[in-house]
Chain A
Amino acid sequence: DGGITQSPKYLFRKEGQNVTLSCEQNLNHDAMYWYRQDPGQGLRLIYYSQIVNDFQKGDIAEGYSVSREKKESFPLTVTSAQKNPTAFYLCASSIAHFSGANVLTFGAGSRLTVL
């Protein structure tokens, strides 16, 4: 079955540590996205990538970094510079980036807790 796989599902981190969340898709989608979800705040865009080796900052990119070396993969690193990293992180993809008619397909999410 095609879809998006996020791992790990749950992750605990000590303050000052960097962590990397994995996102892999086998849908042959060009565009990939990372969102952060906090209770009552909806989804906020962290980074997005339209094609391999290219990505742009979203609304809350500070303290995060990404790479897009392969079409299937878009890992997110939460660095120690992110002041409040505890959240639910969602990865998504779409066929192409520029058409609003495209539907986003989401992964099941990764819940990060800073101890």
Chain B
Amino acid sequence: AQSVAQPEDQVNVAEGNPLTVKCTYSVSGNPYLFWYVQYPNRGLQFLLKYITGDNLVKGSYGFEAEFNKSQTSFHLKKPSALVSDSALYFCAVFPPRRGSTLGRLYFGRGTQLTVWP
């Protein structure tokens, strides 16, 4: 079964400190990996994706994510958090194989990030 885990429901950090939002996955093959962000009462916005190549992926708003194949993880990071980064963050996985999993994303449950001044 395909699955995505975000082990922390909430992450709290002080403004200016580095932040990490964790994501691990369990899928067959070499998956494509995504991070999306959701602000209150809004749809999701794409942040970044990993398809292949360099394990460190840079995305929007200063975010980056590190793909670790041996640990099956794709943690989202930012060197210096801003209050405006406070939002709900979703990790998503696309298993690149044919069959019943063709063409769809599997989302984690989301992690609420709060950055306090």
User: A residues near B, CB below 8 A?
Assistant: 4, 6, 31, 35, 40-43, 45, 48, 50, 58, 88, 90, 92, 97-101, 103-109, 111
Contact = CB atoms under 8 A, between A and B. Distances in A.
Contacts of A104: 36, 44, 46, 105
Interface in B72-117: 90, 94-96, 102-105, 107-110
Given A42-B109, A90-B43, A100-B105, 14 more contacts: A42-B108, A50-B103, A88-B41, A100-B94, A101-B32, A103-B34, A103-B46, A104-B44, A104-B46, A106-B44, A106-B45, A107-B43, A108-B41, A108-B42
A98 B102 CA distance: 6
B102 A40 contact: no
Nearest to A31: B103
Nearest to B44: A106
A35 B38 CA distance: 14
B49 to A, nearest CB: 7
A45 B90 CA distance: 14
Main secondary structure of the interface of B (DSSP, over half): loop
B8 interface: no
A101 B49 contact: yes
Nearest to B110: A42
Give the contact-size bracket for chain B. Answer: 20 to 34
Contacts of A98: 102-103
Contacts of B102: 98
B96 A100 contact: yes
Contacts of B109: 40-42
B68 to A, nearest CB: 19
Given A104-B44, A106-B43, A108-B43, A97 B103 contact: yes
A92 B104 CA distance: 12
B36 to A, nearest CB: 8
A100 B32 contact: yes
